[in-house]
DNA sequence: TTTGATTTTTTGATTACTCAAAATTATGAA
DNA sequence: TTCATAATTTTGAGTAATCAAAAAATCAAA
């Protein structure tokens, strides 16, 4: 049985692989993402490599093996189903479920997760718009534009928020930018690093490019 | 923050203190209850003692300190609320929630447990009839008779099952002896180690004294 | 009260995870 | 190409939890 730490590392590597362009995830990136010392990540990566869960190229980085990917996706499934459960059944706010899910993902049994999946009607998206992997490990791919590269002055619906940090989600929530809400991008100014939006919910809002790129949308 | 192991030891000591008559719980009893080697329990007991969570008398045993009791009761509250939640909201069977609760009790946040408590209407008993400690740490005491010492040929209602072992609960369930059900004790034979019952649900049943003593009842 | 059995503690190790700081390797600008 | 900088790995160490087996203490008969 994988330990909690191993599950967290695998999930982290999976997520870094997704957004990063190159094939290999450097150990330093893992260390930063998990808030551990660089040497700690290196040590764990060796353990994972010895267990056949990653392919490790010293001084380059790691890549999940097939076994590692399977495990990571399973953890991610539990995480996202738990998040949705906390929102829909428990009534927690979508912007504050991540921390709880990060602990519960290691404690829920297969039996329990199957019941939750059933209760929620086999959902495909979590409260942040992230895809929920299927029980067999399939993750739906999607390529929504974000607020930096989508069309200007065109109605869009928020599809996904790709940053789970509580502070960021609270900001997003404060500006009425929760998934499902409608908006259009009024203008962008690269020099000022500003994206001006018109949100159906909260009126005019201005975001930096960094923040704007984390909000994925779907044209209507 | 206490580790998962420490929470499990404290909960265990609390439970052993409840049923055992003497004041001190021997380390060997803890080791047996938690399925660890005797030396492991001794080592942990010293750690707990150093943290001021128990009073430790070498070669005699331990007793929870006030701080230890408070923590233990908190864990127990989480455990029992989670059990009831799994039965009432998730729809799991009362005889199979213990294992899940034993892991979830370390992963649910105060926020989440407060919501669960609210959803369930501030319940006082878990699915096994065990009292749920209040948020402030008060545990309702009750002294129900059991099937060994209750009146003969008198209608009773099952109040509590004081053994969480899955095999035992499945047996109890199979004989229709779930909390709330009605029965009367027909006869007892000490030499044959047999207690004969008439259950409203499952007709005539025979139990050994050991098993019968774990089923607490309330005269009607 | 002696002694044999039982219980508990001690000892010596192991696994898992972590850090700080030193050593090494890679990278990119001059 | 060379060298300073940055990233990575190695080293040495510590905490937490565990076990097997030896040693010590307690208990219960005889
Ligand atoms: Mn986690
Ligand atoms: Mn999510
Ligand atoms: Mn537990
Ligand atoms: Mn219970």
* Interval B82-95: pLDDT, tens: 999 999 999 999 99
Q: Name the residue facing A104 among B86, B107, B115 (closest C-beta).
A: B107
Q: How confident is the model at residue B190 (pLDDT cuts 50, 70, 90)?
A: confident
Closest-lying nucleotide for B32 based on CA to C1': C7
Q: Name the residue facing A103 among B90, B99, B107 (closest C-beta).
A: B107
Q: Are B188 and B194 in contact (CB under 8 A)?
A: yes
Is the pTM of the predicted complex or chain greater than 0.85?
yes
Strand partners, A156: A183, A219
Q: Are A65 and A52 in contact (CB under 8 A)?
A: yes
Q: Name the residue facing A100 among B89, B90, B109 (closest C-beta).
A: B109
Distance in Å, CA B124 to ligand 4 centroid = 12
d(CA A58, CA A55): 10
pLDDT of residue A203: 86
Exposure b/e, A75-91, CB count within 10 A at least 16 = b: bbbbbbbbbbbbbbbbe
For residue A127, give both structure tokens: 């409260």
d(CA B111, CA A166): 15
Closest-lying nucleotide for B59 based on CA to C1': C8
Distance in Å, CA B81 to ligand 3 centroid = 13
Q: Which run of H or of E encompasses B55?
A: strand B54-57
Distance in Å, CA B71 to ligand 3 centroid = 13
pLDDT in tens, B23-34: 899 999 999 999
In A, what residues contact B, Cβ < 8 A?
Answer: 86, 89-92, 99-100, 103-104, 106-109, 111-112, 115-116, 119
Instruction: Report the C-alpha dihedral over residues B94, B100, B103, B106, rounded to 10 degrees.
Output: -50
Helix (H, G, I), strand (E, B) or coil at B172: helix
Cβ of residue A40 lies below 7 Å from strand C:
yes
Given the DSSP bridges, would you call strands A182-189 and B182-189 parallel, antiparallel or unpaired? Answer: unpaired
Give mean pLDDT in consecutive 10-residue pieces for chain A, a chain of 220 residues: 96 94 92 98 98 97 98 98 98 94 98 98 97 97 92 94 91 90 92 90 88 94
Are A89 and B89 a contacting pair at CB < 8 A? Answer: yes
Cβ of residue B20 lies below 7 Å from strand C:
no
d(CA A56, CA A78): 26
């Amino acid at each position: 049985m994988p330990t909690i730490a191993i599950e967290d590392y695998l999930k982290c590597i999976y997520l870094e692989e997704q957004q990063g362009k190159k094939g290999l995830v450097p150990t330093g990136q893992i260390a930063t993402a998990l808030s551990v010392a660089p040497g700690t990540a290196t040590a764990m990566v060796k353990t994972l490599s010895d267990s056949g869960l990653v392919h490790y190229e010293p001084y380059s980085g790691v890549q999940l093996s097939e076994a590692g990917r399977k495990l990571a996706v399973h953890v991610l499934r539990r995480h996202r189903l738990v998040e949705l459960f906390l929102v829909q059944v428990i009534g927690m706010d979508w912007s504050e479920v991540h921390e709880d899910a990060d602990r519960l993902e290691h404690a829920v049994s297969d039996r329990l997760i199957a019941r939750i999946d059933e209760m929620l009607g086999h959902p495909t998206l979590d409260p942040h718009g992230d895809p929920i992997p299927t029980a067999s490990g399939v993750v739906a791919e999607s390529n929504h534009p974000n607020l930096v590269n989508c069309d200007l002055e065109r109605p869009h619906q928020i599809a996904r928020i790709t940053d789970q940090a509580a502070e960021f989600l609270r900001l997003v929530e404060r500006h009425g930018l929760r998934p499902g809400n409608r908006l259009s991008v009024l203008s962008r100014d690269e020099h000022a690093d500003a994206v001006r939006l018109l949100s159906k919910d909260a009126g005019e809002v201005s975001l930096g490019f960094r923040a704007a790129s984390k909000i994925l949308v779907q044209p209507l």
